[in-house]
Chain A
């Protein structure tokens, strides 16, 4: 049930950035832009080819993606089951929801110094930041999804004598599926952003570290390559998740947000 791709829409979506790049290139060549912080697209392209050739691009990207995968996986394993449990225990929500709202106000980056003090500068603090960044959207959306399960469907489960575990499996999880998925999508994009910040501060490997390295070495073209890589990877992740949503939930009709 994959939607048909409307190529005219894709074309429009691609044409606009190409146009921007063209204008940028022309103004750069005419000497209107300061090459120190706005190098010409052709120069950025050249830097990209170089970075691919010397392997630094792939090494850093892979380092970032690996962290993303670990951190996100851990978050899902923590936040989804916890969300289901908390979502079913309504009275418990009164206890914890003010605390959660408080924690939610703190951006993950604010915790990075503490994580570094506690966990060092290598993998652990970065993964901790990712977990923190993704936990709230995944957890809160799961809770909300479980909360909004239609009690009439739960009653059907009761009438057909489902055990509590089966009730979770057959009624709660699929009912909350949409909401959980929204949480996963938000969580993953939060992860990606937070990871880049963490890498910029800890400066070991990864795309974020590469950006900072570009600053240290006064190589704005390399900075741009890294920045654009972040954007493109984020975009690809989002597209994949949207596709998965349609794959796993064919009973859902198209959403208004899919209209462009």
Chain B
């Protein structure tokens, strides 16, 4: 598939980008077996995600959104159903996907740039590692902190390093599991802006899990609303508002209200 780098300026229109389906989730169910018996976490989820699309999965806590993302990442196996990535089954972690966890999960003994190079240092040539690391550092805006150790970073910076580590891996899709949930409001808003900018620049496919409806509305083109116990897709909502999104606009508020009602949670 051709990439549209020629018109890669700020407003990327999803209708113009190719409609190739990158990730297809087919009828996924997941049952956990514990000492207390079996618990169904996910039931019959089906949805798809196009190349270059920004998709958010929202739902109340405990609805299994993280489990779903981990299944797409290949870190967990579904009980039934299948995940297709570019048409082939996901059987484990792959070079085409990179996950960013809720916590930064940086290696305390590595500097910022070594952390960013973590996923590529053993598989790429030295020059490639260097250039990819530089590129990632620039994308997440941490060039001045490349020699710092994780304990010297703020929470927001640490999470940016984690995103940089995922980007350096050069995945087709970026999977983000509530990456901003432990940050304060202003840092969170800043990182949301940075993530959008990064998405516009790189054209990556992004799947983000969040329980914050406003965050989903600010960021994504498609919102998958999940209902809990067991988690299933309640509704898939296309958000066609232009970027950057004005949180105070009636259209934004209207959709927010709608999702709130639909999800039955208050925020």
Contact = CB atoms under 8 A, between A and B. Distances in A.
Interface of A: 152-153, 155-156, 158-162, 166, 170-171, 174-175, 177, 249-251, 253
Contacts of A251: 108-109, 149-151
Interface stretch (B91-99, B133-141, B218-226, B238-246): B91-99
A153 B105 contact: yes
B1 to A, nearest CB: 24
A253 B109 CA distance: 11
A152 B101 CA distance: 9
A174 B109 contact: yes
Contact of B75 (A155, A162, A174, A253): A155
Residue picked from A156, A162, A171, A177, most chain B C-beta under 10 Å: A156
B115 to A, nearest CB: 10
Contacts of B184: none
Interface in B86-137: 93-95, 98-99, 101, 103, 105, 107-109, 118-119, 122
Nearest to A163: B122
A140 to B, nearest CB: 22
Contact of B105 (A156, A161, A177, A250): A156
Residue picked from A160, A161, A253, most chain B C-beta under 10 Å: A160
A138 B175 CA distance: 40
Given A166-B122, A253-B151, A161 B94 contact: yes
A251 B153 CA distance: 12
Given A250-B149, A251-B149, A159 B99 contact: yes
Nearest to A253: B151
A31 B243 CA distance: 95
Contacts of B85: none
B122 A162 contact: yes
B93 to A, nearest CB: 5
A152 B103 contact: yes
Contacts of A166: 122
A11 to B, nearest CB: 32
A174 B94 CA distance: 24
9 contacts: A152-B105, A153-B105, A155-B75, A159-B93, A161-B93, A162-B122, A171-B107, A251-B149, A253-B151
Interface residues of B, number: 20
A177 B108 CA distance: 12
B60 to A, nearest CB: 24
Contacts, number: 46
B209 interface: no
B169 interface: yes
A251 to B, nearest CB: 5
Contact of A161 (B95, B103, B108, B151): B95
Given A152-B101, A166-B122, A251-B151, A158 B107 contact: no
B73 A159 contact: yes
Contact of B118 (A152, A156, A253): A156
Contact of A159 (B98, B108, B109, B150): B98
A177 B103 contact: no
Interface in B50-98: 73, 75, 93-95, 98
Contacts of A253: 151
A249 B75 contact: no
Contacts of A177: 109
A160 B105 contact: no
Contacts of A250: 149
A171 B108 CA distance: 11
Contacts of A155: 75, 101, 105
A251 B149 CA distance: 6
Given A170-B118, A250-B149, A253-B151, A158 B105 contact: no
A148 to B, nearest CB: 13
A154 to B, nearest CB: 10
Contact of A158 (B75, B118, B149): B75
B207 to A, nearest CB: 14
B149 A174 contact: no
A228 to B, nearest CB: 39
Given A166-B122, A170-B118, A253-B151, A160 B109 contact: no
Contacts of B101: 152, 155-156
A155 B122 CA distance: 17
A160 B94 contact: no
A115 to B, nearest CB: 39
B124 to A, nearest CB: 12
Contacts of A160: 93, 98, 118-119, 169
